Structure 1
């Protein structure tokens, strides 16, 4: 039994460090960057009063599919996301075998969470590319959770977890922790300084947007109303209706676009830590 476990571990390590895995991650990062740039464009349009598109992952995918060769691009996004799922699951397995202490649990859990995020985006891309409709929404999922025993508490915990993740992204951006994803060449020279700027602005902006989503979940838990919860589009609309909302929304949207640009930089200068 131990031999089988050791062989599985060695296979996982070889797959994780292979050239094909590098290529898969690069494709996935480019696809992820495209989605974020499209969301940023929709958010900028929203800040100028154009409400025709939803500034969310689904809105971005629908925007992409309407462009020339759009269906092909959306399929590339779908494939890229599923490649990232495989990568993150491989990382979760490798982290489980090499990390000690709290990291032995936290790092694999983080990688599994990211795999779920990439997977849901990949599934959404398949729905858009094939013209089928997704059977669930954030509000539907929240309503289902709300109907469970201690449902309001569960929704509140989800909200706190989302806020925590948003705060974590802000911290990584502010502290420059994201630079570990770039190889030495990507961290040096004028291009390195540019990548650092894009990453810092992008991580902070994305963290703020995700934090607003978490606040919406908390509102839903407090009011016992699933309609209060929502995804990125609803969060950005919430920002829009605040004091100086259009300016804030424009700034956040530009920041999300910066995150997309950093995804391209990450694809080009993929570090050993990935």
Structure 2
């Protein structure tokens, strides 16, 4: 079954404009993850200029390229498109998840994903137009927000719940990679048949690596909750550093996986795999 026929069967299918924004969003995510993984691979292999980085530091790397501010502006536009599409998914239910508890949880997840990338889109846009530093205050922002939550009544429980949610989301990425549902979406896409298996394997590797990194970040947040110490919170850079402590080969494998996820996002931009796009 082709993607177009699946999409037409959905009662709240997004407009062509929203679909275009979604595809720009996939492309922008692909660029971010490709750069993120490349920097980590370079760090693992000792190549000069390689470093473990978070997503906002990736924006700085893009900015430093020739025509970097223009490229960063395109990334910002793409990420904004991704945010809009995720919010449309959540509120118009373009994936037809329904309004039961499970469906609402999935739609809430779409909204959360959109809001998460809204911060990155804002940082990219601000940097592209102002020429300032893209990574200013990235890690400290996460820690300061955690500190405010910890200061609230039952703050440790709240941060702990968030940590478990992040860990759960990471494990779900791994589950998604090997579930039959993911294979079904790839096989029903407009990809040529001889390329579907390659894309499927690339997506599996990418989702697995992304799930590992997310689970590690959730572990850091859980440590912050258990010790009531916001300084324990680390982002992608901290996850890479932990992996590097296990050996450069471990870091390189996960970093290559994130590059695979970036490639899969670029494929998504050209041959939409998800329903509703």
Scaled by the length of structure 2, the TM-score of the pair is 0.85
1:48 to 2:45 alignment: yes
**Matching residue of 1:83:** 81
Which of the residues 154, 158, 164 maps onto 1:160? 164
**Matching residue of 1:69:** 67
Which of the residues 14, 17, 22 maps onto 1:17? 14
Q: 1:233-269 CA deviation, whole Å, 9 max, x = no partner? A: 0111011112xx2111100000000000000111111
Count how many residue pairs are aligned between Structure 1 and Structure 2.
259
Q: 1:96-125 CA deviation, whole Å, 9 max, x = no partner? A: 987142244123211111111221220121
Structure with more relative contact order (C-alpha pairs < 8 Å, separation 6 or more): 2
CA contact (8 A) 1:65 1:74 kept: yes
- Tell me, what secondary structure is at the counterpart of 2:93? helix
Unaligned runs of 5+ in 1: 1-12
**Matching residue of 1:174:** 178
Deviation at 1:174, TM superposition (A): 1.8
CA contact (8 A) 1:179 1:187 kept: no
**Matching residue of 1:121:** 120
Deviation at 1:35, TM superposition (A): 0.2
Distance 1:125 1:176, change over 3 A: farther
Distance 1:69 1:183, change over 3 A: farther
CA contact (8 A) 2:41 2:50 kept: no
Q: Which moved more, 1:135-144 or 1:117-126?
A: 135-144
Q: Determine the C-alpha separation between the residues in 1 that align with 2:192 and 2:109.
A: 28
CA contact (8 A) 2:40 2:255 kept: yes
Unaligned runs of 5+ in 2: 1-10
Deviation at 1:223, TM superposition (A): 2.0
Deviation at 1:154, TM superposition (A): 1.7
**Matching residue of 2:263:** 261
Deviation at 1:88, TM superposition (A): 1.4
Q: Determine the C-alpha separation between the residues in 1 that align with 2:29 and 2:195.
A: 21
CA contact (8 A) 1:209 1:232 kept: yes
CA contact (8 A) 1:139 1:229 kept: yes
**Matching residue of 2:8:** none
Which of the residues 145, 148, 156 maps onto 2:149? 145
RMSD over aligned Cα atoms: 2.3
Which of the residues 21, 24, 31 maps onto 2:28? 31
Which of the residues 203, 207, 210 maps onto 1:206? 210
Deviation at 1:166, TM superposition (A): 0.1
Q: Determine the C-alpha separation between the residues in 2 that align with 1:124 and 1:107.
A: 27
